[in-house]
Chain A
C-alpha cells in the first residue's frame, strides 16, 4: 500500500475528529470530545508510524515540504494530546485541529523536492533553517491557540458569563503560562532560524542580510517578540495586554511564514 494512502487516512481521521469537536460545540454530548480525542490519538500514532516508514524509505529526510508540514502537524497533535491529559484542554480541540488539518492538507500538496543536491555547508544551513522554521511554526501555533483561548475565556470571565464551552477551558493562569512558554520556546527556535537563514544567505550571496523583504520582516518580528518577552518580565506585560500584543505578532509571523514560503 502506498504511503500516500496512509497520509490520506491520517487526514480523514483528523477531519473526523474536527467534526466531533464542531458538533461538541453545538450538542451538549461530552462523548463527542472523547471521540475527537481518540481520533487525534489514533491519527497521531498512525502519522508517527507512517512518517517513520517514510523516513526509513527515503534517500534523504526532509527533502520535501511534505516532511516539514507533517512534522509541524505531528508536533501540534502531540502537544494537544499532552495538554489534554495534563491540563484538561479537551474543550480546545477545534482550535488545535484546524491548523493541524491545514498543515496536513498543505503537506499533501507540497510533495516535490525543494532542494536538489546542494553542496555543504549550504545544505546544512538550509536544512537547519527549515527545520527550525517549521518547529517554531508549530510552537507559535500553540502560542496563538492558547492566546485566543485566553482572550475568549478572559472576556467571558470579565463579562461574568461562565456557561457554555468556554467554562470547560483551563484556567486563565494555565492558558497564560502555556502561551508564555510557547512564545519563549518559539522565540528561541525562531532565533536559530534567523541565524541559520543569515548563514545560508552569507554562503549564497556573501551578505548576512539581503534585500529580501521577508528577512527584514523576520528581524522586525524577532525584535518585537524580544521586547514583549522582556517587558513581560520587567513591566508586567502579562495577561490581557501582553497576550493581545503577542497574538498580533504571532498572526504576523504565521502570515510571514506562508508568504516567505511562496
Chain B
C-alpha cells in the first residue's frame, strides 16, 4: 500500500498536450469511478486544472497505478486521440508523492508562484473524490494535511504577498499594451473561475460599466452580473460586442479552439486595427494560436504566463526556500506517521498472536504447577512477557523502520512467516 501520484502539468507538457488530458467535473467523476471499479487503486482523487491533471491514489505501486490509469483512459471515451504520454507523464511514490501534493496545494508548483486559487482547486478535487466515494482514510489524512501545510506556508512565508497571480499578470500585460486602463472595455467569455478572477482584477482599474460577460448559457453570465462583475450579454451578439472590447478574457470550456484566425481577421478589419489584447485561459484552448500573428492583436494563453511567474519566483526566492523547508519537514513527519500507520495493524496482529500463544502456554504450564505461590506465578508471567517482548523486538523495529519498510513485500514476508491472516490484521 503506497501513496502514488501520476500526472501531467505545465512543466512537463505544453498546453496543446495538456488540453488533451483536461477533465471537466463529469469526466473526472467518471474516471474516478472507473479506476475505483478496477480495484487496483484503493483510494483516489483527481486534480484537474488548466495547469495540471494529477491522479492521487493509494495502491500497490506507482507502475500499477500508471498502467491502470492508461487502461481506463484509453479503453474508454476519456480522450479523443491516443497520445504517447510517457515523455509528458511524471510519477511519484510515497514521500515524493506526499511532498508533491503539499507543494501543489501550497502553490509552490504553480505557474504563478504563491497564487491562492490552487488551494481551492485541490479542495474541489478532494470534495469530488469524497462525493464520488472513492476516498478513504489514507487520502483523507493526506489531503487534510496538505490544506494545513498550505495554510502554514501562506501565513509563515511571504510567498503569497505581492504575488503575481493569473489575475494580476493579466493586468500587468494589459498595462504594457494600453497604459491606462480606465476607459478600456473588457469582455469575459465563459463563466470559468480563472476568467472571473482575471476580470475582477481588471475591474479594479477599468471604469464601471465597461465590462461585459458572455456565456453560451446566458443565465450563468447573468449570475456574474448579479455579483457586479459586469454586464451580461447574449452570446449571439459576440461579433458586435468584441468590436467595442479592448481586452478579451476567454475561459470557456468549449473543448476545442472555437475562435479562429479568419474570425479575428474580420474583427480586426472592422475595428480599424485598434489594439486587442486576448487572454485565452481555456484548457483546451479556446483560440487558435495563429490568431496571435495578427497585427495589433496580442494573444496570451496560460503557458505564456510562465515568464511572468518565473520573474516573480526570482523576486521571492527567500520565501520560496522557507516554504520548501516547511513542506519538506511536514512531508517527512507525515511520511513517518504513515509508515507507522501502515505497519501498525501488522505489528498489532503480531503482538496479539504472540500474546495469545504466551497466554495459552503460561496457562497450561501453571495448571500443571499448582504448588507455586502467587509470587512465583507472577514471576513466570513476567518472564514469559519479557521473552515475547524480546523476540518481537527486532521484527517490530524492522516494521517501524522507514527504510526497511520501503523494500517491497516486507510486510507480506512478515505476515507469511508468522502466518498472520488479513482478517486479523484489519
Chain A interface (Cβ < 8 Å from any Cβ of B): 153, 157-158, 160-163, 167, 170-174, 235-241
Contacts and interface: CB of A to CB of B under 8 A. Distances in A.
B302 to A, nearest CB: 12
B274 A161 contact: no
A235 B295 contact: no
20 contacts: A153-B176, A158-B292, A158-B298, A160-B300, A160-B307, A162-B176, A162-B311, A163-B307, A170-B179, A171-B176, A171-B177, A171-B178, A172-B178, A172-B179, A173-B180, A173-B275, A174-B179, A238-B273, A239-B275, A240-B295
A171 B273 contact: no
A235 B272 contact: yes
Return the 7 tightest CB-CB contacts between A and B, nearest first. Answer: A236-B272, A171-B179, A236-B273, A239-B296, A173-B179, A160-B304, A240-B295
Given A237-B273, A240-B295, A241-B295, A172 B307 contact: no
Contacts of B311: 162-163
B273 A241 contact: yes
Nearest to B246: A173
A158 B292 CA distance: 8
Nearest to A153: B176
A161 B175 contact: no
A168 to B, nearest CB: 11
Nearest to B172: A162
B84 to A, nearest CB: 27
B308 interface: yes
Nearest to B304: A160
Interface string B168-184: 00000101111110000
B15 to A, nearest CB: 13
B27 interface: no
A237 B304 CA distance: 28
Contacts of A162: 173, 176, 307-308, 311
Contacts of B269: 236
A172 B275 CA distance: 9
A133 to B, nearest CB: 32
B271 interface: yes
A158 B177 CA distance: 10
B177 A238 contact: no
Given A157-B177, A172-B275, A238 B296 contact: yes
Contacts of A235: 272-273
Interface string B204-216: 0000000000000
A19 to B, nearest CB: 28
Contacts of A153: 176
Given A160-B307, A173-B180, A236-B274, 19 more contacts: A157-B176, A157-B298, A158-B292, A160-B300, A161-B307, A162-B176, A167-B176, A171-B176, A172-B178, A173-B178, A174-B179, A235-B273, A236-B269, A237-B273, A238-B274, A238-B275, A239-B295, A240-B295, A241-B295
A171 B275 CA distance: 12
Contacts of A173: 177-180, 275
Interface of B: 173, 175-180, 269, 271-275, 292, 295-296, 298, 300, 304, 307-308, 311
Nearest to A235: B272
Contacts of A239: 273, 275, 295-296
Contacts of B271: 236
A174 B177 CA distance: 9
A161 B306 CA distance: 10
Nearest to A240: B295
A195 B272 CA distance: 33
Q: Which of B177, B292, B296, B307 has the most CB of A within 10 A?
A: B296
A241 B294 CA distance: 11
A187 B298 CA distance: 30
B223 to A, nearest CB: 33
Nearest to B174: A171
Nearest to A241: B295
B176 A172 contact: yes
A172 B177 CA distance: 5
A103 B273 CA distance: 36
Contacts of A167: 176
Nearest to B184: A173
Contacts of A174: 179
A139 B173 CA distance: 30
Contacts of B296: 238-241
A173 B176 CA distance: 8
A237 B272 CA distance: 8
Contacts of B304: 160
Nearest to A163: B311
Nearest to B299: A158
A163 B269 CA distance: 31
Contacts of A157: 173, 176-177, 298
Nearest to B179: A171
Contacts of A237: 273
B120 to A, nearest CB: 27
Contacts of B177: 157, 171-173
A120 B295 CA distance: 52
Contacts of A158: 292, 298
Nearest to B275: A239
A155 B309 CA distance: 20
B33 to A, nearest CB: 39
A167 B173 CA distance: 10
Nearest to A170: B179
A169 B304 CA distance: 20
Contacts of A240: 295-296
Nearest to B300: A160
Contacts of A160: 300, 304, 307
A237 B307 CA distance: 31
